[in-house]
Amino acid sequence: MRWRGDLRSRRPSAQMLAPRMFQPNPIALALAIFFPGLIWAGPSDEPHLSIVPRTKSEAARIASVTKLATSFDQAQQFEAKSAGAATVRAMSNADAFSQPSGNITFEDELTFKVGNGLFRKLWVSSPSSTLASDGLGPLYNARSCQRCHRKDGRGHPPEGPEDNAISMFLRVSIPGSSDDAISEIEGYLATLPEPTYGSQLQDLSLAGYPGEYTLQIDYEEVEVALSGGEFASLRQPTYTAANLGYGPLHPDAMLSPRVAPQMIGLGLLEAIPAADILALADPDDLNGDGISGRPNIVWSIEYNEPMLGRFGLKAASPTVREQSAGAFAGDIGISNPLFPAAWGDCTAAQSDCRAAPHGDADDRGFEIDDEGLDLVTFYSRNLGAPARRDVDDPDVLRGKETFHTTGCTSCHQPVFVTHRLEDQPEQSFQLIWRIPICSSTTWGRG
Q: Where are the beta strands (DSSP E) in 247-366?
A: 254-259, 297-300, 305-308
Rounded-to-10 torsion of CA 171, 201, 351, 177: 20
Query: Phi and psi for 168 in degrees, rounded to 5?
Result: -150, 140
For residues 401 and 411, give the distance between their C-alpha atoms in angstroms, rounded to a whole number.
15
Amino acid making up residue 345:
D
The pLDDT score that the predictor gives to residue 26 is 43
Type of residue numbered 423: D
Do the beta carbons of residue 3 and residue 257 sit within 8 Å? Answer: yes
Phi, psi dihedral angles at 431 (to 5 degrees): -85, 110
Q: Could you say which DSSP state residue 384 is in?
A: P
pLDDT at position 300? 95
Q: Show Cβ contacts of residue 22 under 8 Å, excluding neighbours closer than 6 positions.
A: 42, 43, 184, 305
Residue 133 carries which DSSP code? Answer: G
The upper half-sphere exposure of residue 80, i.e. CA atoms within 13 Å in the direction of its Cβ, equals 10
Contacts with 267 (C-beta within 8 Å, 6 or more apart), sequence order: 86, 101, 320, 380, 381, 382, 424, 426, 427
Residue 33 pLDDT: 42
Cβ atoms within 10 Å of 222's Cβ, excluding its own: 10
Q: Nearest Cα to 443, choosing from 294, 309, 313, 311?
A: 294
pLDDT value, residue 434 = 67
DSSP state, residue 121: P
356 vs 350: CA distance, rounded Å: 10
pLDDT for the residue 436: 42
- Looking at residue 21, its pLDDT comes to 31
Q: Which residues are CB-contacts of 341 (< 8 A; sequence separation ≥ 6)?
A: 329, 335
Nearest-angstrom CA–CA distance, 215 and 201: 9
Contact criterion met (CB below 8 Å) for 328 and 368:
yes
C-alpha closest to that of 249 among 240, 257, 237:
240
pTM of the model: 0.87
Query: Residue 74: its pLDDT value, please?
Result: 95
- 415 CB-side CA count, 13 A: 20
What pLDDT is stored for residue 362 in this prediction?
A: 74
User: How many other CB atoms sit within 10 Å of the CB of residue 321?
Assistant: 23
* Per-domain residue ranges of the chain: 9-437
Q: Which residues of 129-158 are buried (b: 16+ CB within 10 A; e: fewer)?
A: eeebbbbbbbbbbbbbbbbbbbebbebebe
Per-residue pLDDT of the chain (446 residues; tens, 9 = 90+): 545 443 223 333 333 333 333 333 444 444 444 444 444 445 347 999 999 999 999 999 999 999 999 999 999 999 999 999 999 999 999 999 999 999 999 999 999 999 999 999 999 999 988 888 999 999 999 999 999 999 999 999 998 878 889 999 999 999 999 999 998 898 888 999 999 999 999 999 999 999 999 999 999 999 999 999 999 999 999 999 999 999 999 999 999 999 999 999 999 999 999 999 988 888 888 888 888 888 889 999 999 999 999 999 889 999 999 999 999 999 999 999 999 999 999 999 999 999 999 988 777 789 999 999 999 999 999 999 999 999 999 999 999 999 999 988 888 889 999 999 999 999 999 999 964 444 334 444 43
pLDDT at 248: 98
- How far apart are the C-alpha atoms of 109 and 100, rounded to whole Å? 7
**SS3 (DSSP) at 381:** helix
Tallying the residues shown for the chain, one arrives at 446
With beta carbons less than 8 A apart as the criterion, state whether 435 and 415 touch.
no
Q: Are 345 and 199 in contact (CB under 8 A)?
A: yes
Q: C-alpha angle with apex 96: 93 to 102, nearest 5 degrees?
A: 135
User: Residue 113 is inside which H or E element, if any?
Assistant: helix 106-120
Give the phi and the psi of residue 410 in degrees, each rounded to 5: -65, -30
pLDDT of residue 1: 53
